[in-house]
């Protein structure tokens, strides 16, 4: 089938690679606001063609929206207005707002809301990764609002990419995403700013930073163009989790201030409980 991918960045580009590799798309049309991204994607062979949006929609069976979630909200009505029987899916990190945006749209059934749980701290088509989605989860939201054939096309596609499906309502998705993804980014951004602010000897960071620091801070390289809209759209959940995170950090602070080593040990032992969940 012919697939249009709107947003040929980290996710769109990696998806293009995977669709080609698995023989799921024989022709990929790429659309991106950034002309340089389109050029790079063509040169890298991520996409086969670039053409105007209307033409792309007419030629395609599937339209994938892999743009930042603010662009997603802006674009989705236009796409939905232009399609006939095509299937539209997104890959956005937030889900409630996009659901509200297309609620009651006459073509609502053609849309499948998805969030593949994979990413890196890099962006743009040159960040595309081969085999990116294998063994990862993909969340499908509000599946009962999608037409059966549209849902089947999208779920089969993800299964063939090696992903396992998790079904969730949009509201639950946004809450869980705040915990397992959005807060990690804020933590990492704030940690980077802490070190950049106070550690005046950057050479020392460079020389001494070991794997532990690197893994905790790597998400701080992530693109604001993607993340500001995520925090905008998931503001309330992220604020809840962030408040809890600050109060957890204050417990560590209080232990240090009061030299309460017994309670500090308890806090760490409690944190070790994450082993139950992540091997």
The residues in 57-116 that bind its own copies, with binding defined as CB under 8 A, are none
Interface positions, 235-254, toward its own copies (CB under 8 A): 235, 238-246, 248-253
C-beta of 180: minimal distance to its own copies in Å?
Answer: 5
- Distance, C-alpha 256 to centroid of its chain: 36
**Which has the closest alpha carbon to 57: 71, 37, 35, 75?**
75
Within 13 A of 232's CA, how many CA atoms are on the CB side? 13
Residue 98 C-beta: closest distance to its own copies, Å: 18
Of the pair 90, 102, the CB lying nearest its own copies is at 90
Stretch that binds its own copies, among 47-55, 99-107, 150-158, 261-269 (CB under 8 A): 261-269
Contact yes or no for 237/178 (Cβ under 8 A): yes
- In the complex, minimum distance from the CB of residue 122 to its own copies, in angstroms, rounded to a whole number: 10
Nearer to its own copies, 120 or 126 (CB): 120
Angle at 182 (CA atoms; ends 178, 188), nearest 5 degrees: 140
What minimum distance in Å lies between the beta carbon of 57 and its own copies? Answer: 30
35 binds its own copies (CB under 8 A): no
Helix ranges restricted to H, the chain: 10-21, 35-44, 53-59, 69-82, 96-102, 148-160, 170-177, 183-198, 202-208, 211-217, 224-233, 235-258, 261-271
Residue selected from 44, 103, 184, 233 as contacting its own copies according to rule CB under 8 A: 184
| String of contacts with its own copies for each residue 121-160, x by CB under 8 A | x--------------xx-x---------------------
How far apart CA 37 and CA 32 sit, in angstroms, is: 7
CB of 13 to its own copies, least distance (A): 17
């Amino acid at each position: 089938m012919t697939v249009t991918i709107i947003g040929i960045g980290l996710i769109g580009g990696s998806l293009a690679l995977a669709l080609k590799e698995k023989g799921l798309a024989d022709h990929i049309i790429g659309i991106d606001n950034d002309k340089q991204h389109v050029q790079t994607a063509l040169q890298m062979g991520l996409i086969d063609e670039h053409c105007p949006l209307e033409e792309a929609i007419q030629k395609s069976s599937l339209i994938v929206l892999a743009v930042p979630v603010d662009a997603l909200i802006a674009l989705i009505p236009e796409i939905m207005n232009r399609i006939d029987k095509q299937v539209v899916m997104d890959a956005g990190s937030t889900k409630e707002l996009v659901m509200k945006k297309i609620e009651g749209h006459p073509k609502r059934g053609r849309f499948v809301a998805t969030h593949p749980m994979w990413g890196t701290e890099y962006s743009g088509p040159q960040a595309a990764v081969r085999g990116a989605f294998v063994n990862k989860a993909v969340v499908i939201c509000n599946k009962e609002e999608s037409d059966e054939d549209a849902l089947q096309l999208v779920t089969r596609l993800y299964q063939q990419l090696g992903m396992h499906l998790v079904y969730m309502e949009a509201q639950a998705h946004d809450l869980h995403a705040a915990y397992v993804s959005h807060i990690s980014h804020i933590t990492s951004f704030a940690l980077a700013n802490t070190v950049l602010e106070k550690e005046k000897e950057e050479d020392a960071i460079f020389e001494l930073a070991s794997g532990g620091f690197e893994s905790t801070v790597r998400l701080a390289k992530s693109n604001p163009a993607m993340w500001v809209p995520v925090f905008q759209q998931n503001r309330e959940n992220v604020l809840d989790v962030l408040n809890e995170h600050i109060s957890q950090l204050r417990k560590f602070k209080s232990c240090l201030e009061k030299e309460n080593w017994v309670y500090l040990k308890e806090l760490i032992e409690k944190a070790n409980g994450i082993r139950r969940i992540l091997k």
